């Protein structure tokens, strides 16, 4: 079926009334297209191909994508989807539900439903009405140079690097690390690209926090859980561990471990919820732990709940493992000295 509207390049063929007028599409033609059902009105002055809208709404995540497309189109030709919505479009990990960070509103009536989450939009502070936007949008007034722009699913969006830095400036350090680690792990960005954006935004609010996130981030963190663990270790004053290290003893490799403090002969393993659901996997882990201890390592396990409820207990467990290793080494050194004197 021929597209009834000029191709805008946007999701679902979204096009504004001003764009249609500039292309010579008359109001009479629009009325005919609407009456035939070929074109639908998604907002005042915003039209779309009805069939494309139907397919988009039927696709997984389609309704949310359509909300983002409408918001960005209504906010002007240079507006881009940004912040948590951009992170979602890029497939980055988010520590918490994006809806909990929105200005969603509830009607006071007991039967009311929560409003749809606002779409984060960034546009130039020089744009008319730059700090206000149409219903359904949350506006950030900031420059978005061409190198900070990208397109995902037909939507204009901040680049991965700019998205990471925007969120690192405005969220907690822990969530900033989760997002940055995710971008690096998925090879969507490089450390150098993150640094370039921090330099470009060097005078912006929160940039010091963003720099700290960039310096701390590590693409070897294999999950949000491991990223949070690294932040907890840092908060607890532990030295930074090596990540994803193959270890063993006497020429034999036992396996790859999540965290290693080589100086202290201590390993920490982040146990996901599924890790011990399978009895065979649990037995394999027990044998692996025995092999690691036989190779001279202390092994500390912790779960998501441990980090959420009592991270200090995890830190104490690691420090206790450090102390046992140091005491063992001291005892071994003393025994060696005694043997040397006796000889």
In a domain, 109, yes or no: no
For CA atoms 116, 122, 204, 146, give the dihedral sign: positive
* Same-domain pairing of 176 and 86: yes
Kindly report the pTM of this predicted structure.
0.86
* Same-domain pairing of 283 and 337: yes
pLDDT tens digits, residue range 277-333? Answer: 667 777 888 899 999 999 999 999 999 999 999 999 999 999 999 999 999 999 888
Q: Where does a domain end: 188, 219, 250? A: 219
* Same-domain pairing of 143 and 257: no
For the chain, give percent helix, strand, coil, nearest 5: 50, 20, 35
* Same-domain pairing of 269 and 327: yes
Under DSSP, is residue 49 helix (H, G, I), strand (E, B) or coil?
strand
pLDDT tens digits, residue range 116-131? Answer: 789 999 998 887 655 6
* Same-domain pairing of 96 and 5: no
In a domain, 68, yes or no: no
In a domain, 66, yes or no: no
What total of structural domains would you count in the chain?
A: 3
In a domain, 189, yes or no: yes
In a domain, 204, yes or no: yes
pLDDT at position 6, please? 83
Q: Which domain holds residue 23?
A: 1-58
* Same-domain pairing of 236 and 211: no
What are the residue ranges in the chain where pLDDT is below 50? Answer: 98-111
Q: What is the CATH number of the domain that holds 337?
A: 3.40.960.10
* Same-domain pairing of 176 and 269: no
pLDDT at position 110, please? 45
Q: How far apart are CA 76 and CA 122, in angstroms?
A: 10
């Amino acid at each position: 079926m021929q597209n009834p509207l000029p191709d805008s390049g946007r999701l679902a063929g979204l096009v504004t009334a001003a764009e249609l007028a500039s292309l010579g599409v008359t109001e009479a033609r629009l009325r005919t297209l609407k009456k035939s059902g070929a074109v639908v009105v998604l907002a005042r002055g915003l039209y779309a191909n009805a069939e494309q809208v139907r397919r988009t709404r039927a696709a997984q995540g389609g309704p949310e994508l359509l909300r983002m497309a409408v918001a960005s189109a209504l906010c002007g030709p240079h507006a881009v989807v940004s912040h948590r919505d951009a992170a979602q479009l890029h497939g980055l990990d988010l520590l918490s539900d994006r809806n909990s960070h929105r200005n969603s509103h509830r009607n006071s009536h007991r039967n009311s439903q929560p409003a749809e989450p606002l779409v984060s939009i960034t546009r130039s502070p020089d744009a008319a009405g730059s700090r206000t936007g149409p219903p359904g949008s949350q506006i950030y007034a900031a420059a978005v140079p061409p190198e900070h722009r990208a397109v995902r699913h037909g939507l204009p969006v901040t680049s991965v690097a700019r998205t990471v830095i925007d969120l690192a400036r405005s969220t907690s350090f822990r969530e900033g690390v989760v997002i940055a680690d995710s971008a690096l792990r998925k090879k969507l960005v490089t450390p150098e690209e993150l640094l370039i954006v921090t330099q470009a935004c060097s005078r912006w609010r929160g940039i010091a926090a963003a720099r700290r996130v960039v310096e701390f981030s590590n693409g070897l963190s294999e999950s949000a859980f491991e990223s949070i663990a690294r932040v907890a270790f840092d908060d607890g004053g532990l030295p930074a561990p090596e990540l994803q290290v193959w270890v063993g003893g006497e020429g034999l490799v036992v396996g790859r471990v999540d965290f290693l403090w080589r100086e202290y002969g201590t390993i920490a393993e982040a146990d996901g919820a599924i890790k011990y659901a399978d009895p065979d996997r649990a037995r394999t882990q027990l044998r692996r732990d025995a092999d690691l201890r036989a190779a001279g390592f202390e092994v500390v396990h912790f779960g998501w709940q441990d980090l959420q409820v009592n991270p200090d207990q995890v830190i104490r467990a690691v420090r206790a493992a450090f102390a046992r290793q140091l005491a063992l080494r001291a005892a071994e050194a003393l025994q060696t000295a005694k043997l040397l004197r006796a000889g």
